[in-house]
Amino acid sequence: MHNHPTGDLEPSSEDIAITKKVKEAGELIGIDVLDHIIVGDSAYVSLKDRGII
């Protein structure tokens, strides 16, 4: 989970890339990455809900 200081909740290409790397690393040691959430002032985006994870 993290926020974007600009307030833009759209996942960046870097967000997607690091999420995939963390998910792959987790798989190696038996840890499931269930979601990556970007939070804003009054909303959030779930990469799981977007089908990215």
Has residue 9 got a pLDDT over 90? yes
Question: HSE (CB half, 13 Å, CA atoms) of 16?
Answer: 8
- Sole residue written with tokens 């998910």: 23
**Residues 53 and 19 sit within 8 Å (Cβ to Cβ):** yes
23 vs 1: CA distance, rounded Å: 14
pLDDT value of position 34: 96
22 vs 20: CA distance, rounded Å: 6
Amino acid identity of residue 49, one-letter, is D
pLDDT value of position 7: 82
* DSSP label at residue 10: S
pLDDT in tens, 15-45: 999 999 999 999 999 999 999 999 988 899 9
pLDDT value of position 12: 93
